[in-house]
Amino acid sequence: MLKTKLTELLGIKHPIIQAGMGPFSNNNLCVASANAGALGLLSTSGLFNKAGEPWIYEAFIKTAEASMDDDMATVLEKVLKRTHRLVKDKGGIFGINVMVSAELLDRSTIIIDRAIKVRNEVPGMKDTFKVIFTSAGDPVPWRDKIKNAGFTWIHVVPSVKGALRCKKAGVDCIVASGHEGGFHISWEPIHSMVLLPAVIDAIADPNFPVVGAGGFCDGKTLAAAIAMGAAGVQMGTRLLATEESDFHPLWKEQVVKTGDRGTLVARGFVGPARWLKTPSSEIHLKNSLTKSPGVFTGIPDDFTTVAPDLIQYERDAIQAVCTGDREKAMMAGGECAQRIDDMPKVQDIVDKTMKDATNIIKNISKTIK
């Protein structure tokens, strides 16, 4: 068993965060991860566009004990209550991942306000629903709302500058997300081997937990993160390809099928995104080169400048996943997909990751001559 500042902060058994991956529901994956001793994170992005993307909204409510008649806040309330009920007897800890980019601020506010309300009203929920995890935006404006509500606050960053912004905001834990991660990635291609130790050095506080994300998928990579001074890792793509994962079978199967050099970077909804390599994503890459060149030059664009048909292509490709249309579908995933060749249970992944990491750390001296 590895005890770190992350396990102490959150009260989890293992120093692993299950990424709050969207756009689909990951309601069942969150429960499985929390009950396996990791931090389970509920995605909320699937609730953001009921009218425009009902196929994603419907996939979300199927495992939320909700209905299509429910609005965004009501669905969130129901899934929070469901998750609490399913993890409390096993001591599971969970949170929500909320994208707070400028395009989504109105919806982010609704999500966080309802989360605070439900947590205060449901007996015992403060013992299980401990975390608000924010991403894809500036943390500072959220300081008073989240801190005053009593949550442990985690924010994900792609840079040292972002990490120092988190420190100013009063964030409790930082996730440093390298460029090899899946789906939403930063405009600048800084990878985990550089970013993680750079953030740890910049924070310069051995008692402040920094977590690595991007490429972490097993005991070897967890041990490497610990060796660099991290308090744990966030795992996304590896946990997406599991029996309990809510993602469409087409998506999970593509992760398992992905081989050497099997990902690419093209435009995503809020910026650059890493996609699994398929004929559809290769077309999207070519279109991104001409219609959103900032993805490759590090110069951000937004909805006012990027070609609308490029964003629509992504929406159509995600819908194609829901309908099982392999030809048109695009599935996001991290570079570590090329190291994934099975689809086990979450508990088995967590147990093996911890066993392997512990053995590597205990025996590291034997590799030194």
* pLDDT 10s digits, 117-134: 999 999 999 999 999 999
pLDDT higher than 80, residue 248: yes
The total number of residues shown for the chain amounts to 369
pLDDT tens for each residue of 262-313: 999 999 988 899 999 999 999 999 999 999 999 999 888 887 888 899 999 9
Is the predicted pLDDT of residue 225 greater than 90, yes or no? yes
| Single-letter amino acid code for the residue at 26 | N
Q: Is the pLDDT of residue 369 over 80?
A: no
- Asked if the model's pLDDT at residue 102 lies above 90, the reply is no
Q: Is residue 234 predicted with pLDDT exceeding 90? A: yes
Residue 24 has pLDDT above 90, yes or no: no
More confident residue, 369 or 250: 250
Looking at this protein, which amino acid is placed at residue 296?
Answer: F
Confidence of residue 51 (pLDDT cuts 50, 70, 90): confident
Listed in sequence order, the DSSP H helices in 36-71 are 54-62
Cα(149)–Cα(153) distance, integer angstroms: 10
- 213, 182 Cβ separation under 8 angstroms: no
Helix residue ranges per DSSP H, 51-159: 54-62, 72-87, 105-121, 143-148
CA angle 179, 182, 187 (to 5 degrees): 40
pLDDT at 4: 97
pLDDT at 50: 82
**16/10 Cα distance (integer angstroms):** 11
Average pLDDT over residues 13-28: 93
Average pLDDT, the chain: 93
Can you list the domains of the chain with their CATH numbers?
5-246+342-367 (3.20.20.70), 251-335 (no CATH)
What pLDDT score does 301 carry?
85
Q: What is the C-alpha separation between 258 and 167, in angstroms, rounded?
A: 37
Q: Please tell me which residue, 353 or 52, carries the higher pLDDT value.
A: 353
47: pLDDT confidence band, cut at 50, 70 and 90? confident
- In order of 213, 230, 353, the CA distances from 359 in angstroms are 21, 18, 10
